[in-house]
């Protein structure tokens, strides 16, 4: 699993159980009304979502819920979508269960329609709105030339039923993250998100509901509103028309502003720090530390095993020659796998990569190269948030990577479960090495050995 399993509770909404969880203890409350692919458990299977939630919880008391019929909330009796009024009451039930009188409300996708209806009918309980990849209605209509043709609804429903949660080609693979369509880990990541969020029938019913249309309530939404969408549109995602939907909302809401995020993907992925920073500035009036100061990165540590004994047996001059060959080989592999050397100390290296699969492959190549020159090298790989200090990186993720490396045997590449989850589908296999306590790092960590 990528994130810690959340502490889930249930609110009673007229006899229906609505699942929710709370993260953080800031005075300001932020309630997220999810789309069909953003259930509470998504933070467990998607490390990017877990990182996003962590960033939000630093300045807000983050309350997440599963909508009626989705995730861990009670299922629907049929495929009929619950009316928006009922879903608004469900959000109220969660607010009352938590004891929150007023909150910022965040809605994404079809969940944004619930958030908009809530803000229009209960303005005293909404301090602000954040709408992400949102729309007033899903399909084209008179005076609304945005979205797919309603005649395509049945075809889209059948496609969702056939591909929802498919591990090889999940629904939306081509459109949600077109810039990452060649990433071998993306299909399983999206499939897992879908599997823990909704059944195929419930997802299709919610997403393709032509009846939900909140255009008439937009003039009555007076809360300050932030509308987020990608800044560009990839040909594979043209049918979503997210930019057009967002512009319509920004133009028809009395107190809204549009923020276009870098890229063409509706799936945030590595862009979560930028998204979280914009939301923080909108809600607090203060932007966090410059985004370049903190990044989500893959760190790799390598170390020659028993180097002191080898110096004693080989002598200083011969050892220096071995070390020079080792260093040249390591740097060649860094270049091959697009790694950036952060530091080299004694007989070890610290490097950062833009993808965990490349870091693992690089570590394996270094291990093989070291063996060819008679050396044993151990390696540790981890993915986490790092603090940037010039050309250096710091933070708890760096310490975790170093501690995992120290646990490895000669020729072994160890990784955390976060790495394993992110490289699913890449062909890399892992063997469990148990749960470990890492010196100076809170909690326990699952450690695995990369085998191929």
Going from N- to C-terminal start, the domains of the chain cover: 9-288, 293-450
Query: Could you tell me if residue 47 is left (phi over 0), alpha (psi between -120 and 50 degrees) or otherwise beta?
Result: alpha
Record the pTM: 0.69
Q: Which residue has the tokens 């949600």?
A: 176
CATH topology agreement for domains 9-288 and 293-450: no
Q: Output the DSSP codes for 226-284.
A: EEEEESS--GGGGGG-HHHHHHHHHHHSTTEEEEEESSS-SS-GGGHHHHHHHHHHHHH
Looking at 3.40.50.620, 3.40.50.2000, 3.40.50.1820, 1.10.3720.10, the CATH number of the domain 9-288 comes to 3.40.50.1820
H-run or E-run covering 381: strand 377-389
Residue pair 296/51 in contact by the 8 Å Cβ criterion: yes
- Alpha carbon separation from 374 to 95, 127, 156, 314, 356 (Å, rounded): 63, 65, 58, 12, 27
Q: What are phi and psi of 410, to 5 degrees?
A: -55, 130
List the pLDDT tens digit at each of the 452 positions of the chain. Answer: 455 789 999 999 999 999 999 999 999 999 999 999 999 999 988 888 888 999 999 999 999 999 999 999 999 877 678 889 999 999 999 999 999 999 999 999 999 999 999 999 999 999 999 999 999 998 999 999 998 899 998 998 999 999 999 998 999 888 888 777 777 778 888 999 999 999 999 998 888 887 789 999 999 999 999 999 988 765 555 556 889 999 999 999 999 999 998 887 888 776 788 889 999 999 999 866 554 566 778 999 999 987 767 766 777 778 788 888 899 999 999 999 989 999 887 789 999 998 889 999 999 999 999 998 888 999 999 998 888 877 788 888 899 999 999 999 999 999 998 898 888 777 899 999 998 888 877 778 889 999 87
Structure tokens of 391? 């050309």
What separation in angstroms does the CA of 451 have from each of 339, 352, 416? Answer: 20, 21, 14
Overall CATH class of domain 293-450:
alpha beta
What residue ranges in 15-54 does DSSP mark as E strands? Answer: 16-23, 29-33
């Amino acid at each position: 699993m990528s994130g810690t399993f959340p502490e889930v509770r249930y609110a009673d909404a007229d006899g229906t159980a609505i699942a929710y969880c709370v993260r953080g203890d800031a005075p300001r409350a932020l309630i997220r009304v999810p789309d069909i692919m953003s259930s509470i458990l998504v933070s467990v299977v998607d490390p990017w979502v877990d990182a996003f939630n962590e960033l939000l919880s630093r300045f807000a008391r983050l309350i997440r819920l599963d909508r009626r019929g989705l995730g861990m909330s009670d299922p629907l009796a049929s495929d009929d979508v619950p009316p928006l009024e009922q879903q608004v009451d469900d959000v109220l039930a969660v607010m009352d269960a938590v004891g929150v009188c007023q909150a910022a409300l965040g809605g994404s996708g079809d969940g944004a329609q619930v958030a908009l209806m809530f803000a229009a009918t209960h303005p005293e309980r909404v301090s602000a709105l954040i709408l992400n990849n949102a729309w007033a209605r899903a399909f084209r209509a008179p005076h609304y030339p945005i979205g797919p043709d309603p005649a395509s609804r049945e075809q889209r429903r059948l496609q969702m039923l056939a591909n929802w949660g498919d591990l090889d080609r999940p629904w939306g693979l081509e459109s949600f993250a077109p810039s990452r369509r060649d990433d071998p880990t993306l299909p399983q990541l999206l499939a897992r998100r879908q599997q823990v969020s909704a059944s195929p029938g419930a997802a299709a019913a919610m997403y393709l509901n032509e009846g939900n249309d909140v255009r008439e309530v937009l003039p009555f939404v007076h809360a300050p509103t932030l509308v987020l969408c990608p800044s560009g549109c990839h040909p594979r995602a043209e049918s979503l028309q997210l930019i057009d939907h967002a512009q319509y909302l920004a133009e028809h809401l009395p107190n809204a502003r549009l923020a276009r995020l870098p890229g063409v993907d509706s799936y945030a992925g590595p862009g979560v720090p930028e998204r979280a920073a914009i939301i923080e500035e909108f809600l607090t009036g203060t932007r966090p530390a410059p985004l370049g100061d903190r990044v989500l990165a893959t760190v790799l540590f390598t170390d020659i095993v028993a180097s002191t004994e080898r110096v004693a047996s080989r002598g200083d001059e011969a050892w220096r020659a071995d070390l020079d060959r080792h260093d040249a080989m390591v740097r060649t592999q860094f270049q091959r796998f697009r790694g950036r050397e952060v530091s080299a100390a004694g007989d070890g290296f610290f490097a950062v990569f833009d993808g965990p699969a490349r870091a693992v492959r690089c570590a394996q190549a270094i291990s093989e190269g070291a063996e060819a020159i008679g050396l044993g090298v151990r390696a540790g790989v981890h993915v986490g948030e790092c603090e940037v200090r010039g050309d250096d990186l710091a933070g708890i993720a760096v310490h975790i990577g170093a501690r995992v490396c120290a646990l490895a045997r000669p020729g072994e590449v160890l990784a955390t479960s976060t790495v394993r989850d992110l490289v699913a589908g890449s062909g890399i296999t892992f063997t469990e090495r148990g749960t470990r306590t890492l010196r100076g790092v809170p909690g326990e960590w699952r450690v695995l050995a990369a085998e191929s």
